[in-house]
């Protein structure tokens, strides 16, 4: 049996047909396309992905599962965790508030034939789950029996938290929405974490994309200080989580006390997202964060980069659906 998994990112959509193999997924084929903005365009794009994948699977004689697995930006709320909380999927919007309170799973399910269904999860959670499997496959024993955090820096900023049993099972405890955690910038002003640490934040400060500066040594040096500030923000986020001192810009969005209690003391953070895993710029961000942690006496906090974030996200979405 094979599962169609889709990872909706702020700039790219990745999708793949994955063979069901425990902790060792086989990617039959995978593709990446630009993410269209707006609900109608996203729905049309999803329809095309489904039709193309189903046609190719049929041609290759692969039996496709009736469950479509999706990882998407957004804090999912409601009894079935299918509704996008206001302001949490702005990277997909054609206009402000377009995705607020949208039941994304229901919208996309209407496009599918009746015998298909959708299981949707936050994209950061999907990458956390898939990344954990990949790291365990490389015998990274340190994480067994530990609580772990995920910080994903892409177009936006995502997070997730889980407990890994001594035998490698993953238990998600909270979706860990961290984009609006309160962080002080270099002037001491309180800002949303995502406004300091994300591809979007970098572009707003420099009018350049991270992809552009990674292809130019001159640009990389020109904006090195901006990258270092992003590294400092990454370290500050990890410290706040470790200390259990998490507060939001809007108090009504604060975490539940039990979730704060769970993440307090987390020392292992998986780092995902293109901004902190790809290119020379990511190395500057991570190195700055690690040095800050050392300088501030938090040498026990470890930042572990997920090597193949696209496959991790896709496999995580598929595993959660299964």
192 contacts: CB under 8 Å, gap ≥ 6: 179, 180, 181, 182, 183, 249
Predicted local distance difference test score (pLDDT) of residue 69? 95
b/e string for 27-38 if b means 16 or more Cβ within 10 A? eeeeeeeebbee
Distance from C-alpha of 163 to C-alpha of 170, rounded to nearest angstrom:
6
Predicted local distance difference test score (pLDDT) of residue 221? 97
Predicted local distance difference test score (pLDDT) of residue 141? 66
Distance from C-alpha of 8 to C-alpha of 126, rounded to nearest angstrom:
11
Question: Which residue pairs, CB below 8 angstroms and at least 24 apart, start in 35-41?
Answer: 35/8, 35/9, 35/10, 35/11, 35/92, 37/92, 37/93, 37/94, 38/92, 38/93, 38/94, 38/95, 38/98, 39/94, 39/98, 39/99, 39/102, 39/107, 41/94
Residue in 308, 274, 250 with CA at minimum distance from that of residue 87: 250
Predicted local distance difference test score (pLDDT) of residue 181? 94
Predicted local distance difference test score (pLDDT) of residue 276? 95
Predicted local distance difference test score (pLDDT) of residue 152? 94
Q: Spell out the alpha helix ranges (H) of the chain.
A: 39-59, 104-109, 123-137, 199-206, 210-214, 217-222, 224-243, 257-263, 279-295, 309-321
Predicted local distance difference test score (pLDDT) of residue 307? 85
Predicted local distance difference test score (pLDDT) of residue 89? 87
- Give pLDDT tens digits along the chain (322 positions): 899 999 998 889 999 999 977 667 889 888 999 999 999 999 999 999 999 999 999 998 999 999 999 999 888 888 888 899 888 888 899 999 999 999 999 999 998 888 899 999 999 999 999 999 888 877 676 789 999 999 999 999 999 999 999 988 899 887 678 999 999 998 999 999 999 999 999 999 999 999 999 999 999 999 999 999 999 999 999 999 999 999 998 888 889 899 999 999 999 999 999 999 999 999 999 999 999 999 999 999 999 999 889 999 999 999 999 8
Predicted local distance difference test score (pLDDT) of residue 183? 95
Predicted local distance difference test score (pLDDT) of residue 147? 95
Predicted local distance difference test score (pLDDT) of residue 9? 87
């Amino acid at each position: 049996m094979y599962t169609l998994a889709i990872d909706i990112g702020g700039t790219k959509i990745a999708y793949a047909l994955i063979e069901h193999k425990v902790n060792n997924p086989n990617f039959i084929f995978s593709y990446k396309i630009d993410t269209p903005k707006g609900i109608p365009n996203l729905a049309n794009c999803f329809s095309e992905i489904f039709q193309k994948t189903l046609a190719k699977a049929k041609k290759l004689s692969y039996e496709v599962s009736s469950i479509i697995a999706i990882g998407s930006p957004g804090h999912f709320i409601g009894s079935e965790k299918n509704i996008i909380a206001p302001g949490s999927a702005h990277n997909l919007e054609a206009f402000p508030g377009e995705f607020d309170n949208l039941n994304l799973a229901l919208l996309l399910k209407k496009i599918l034939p009746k015998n298909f269904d959708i299981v949707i999860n936050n994209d950061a959670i999907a990458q956390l789950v898939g990344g954990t499997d990949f790291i365990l496959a490389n015998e990274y024993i340190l994480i067994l029996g530990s609580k772990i955090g995920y910080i994903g820096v892409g177009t936006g900023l995502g997070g997730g938290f889980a407990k890994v049993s001594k035998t490698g099972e993953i238990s998600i405890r909270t979706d860990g929405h961290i984009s609006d955690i309160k962080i002080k910038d270099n002037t001491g002003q309180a800002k949303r974490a995502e406004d300091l640490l994300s591809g979007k934040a970098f572009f707003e400060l420099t009018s350049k994309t991270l992809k552009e500066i990674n292809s130019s040594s001159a640009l990389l040096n020109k904006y090195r200080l901006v990258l270092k500030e992003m590294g400092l923000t990454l370290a500050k986020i990890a410290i706040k989580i470790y200390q259990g001192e998490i507060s939001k810009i809007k108090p009504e969005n604060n975490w539940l006390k039990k979730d704060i209690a769970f993440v307090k003391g987390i020392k292992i953070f998986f780092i995902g997202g293109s901004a902190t895993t790809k290119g020379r710029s990511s190395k500057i961000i991570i190195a700055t964060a690690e040095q800050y942690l050392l300088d501030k006496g938090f040498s026990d906090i470890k930042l572990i980069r997920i090597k193949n974030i696209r496959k991790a996200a896709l496999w995580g979405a598929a595993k959660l659906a299964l």
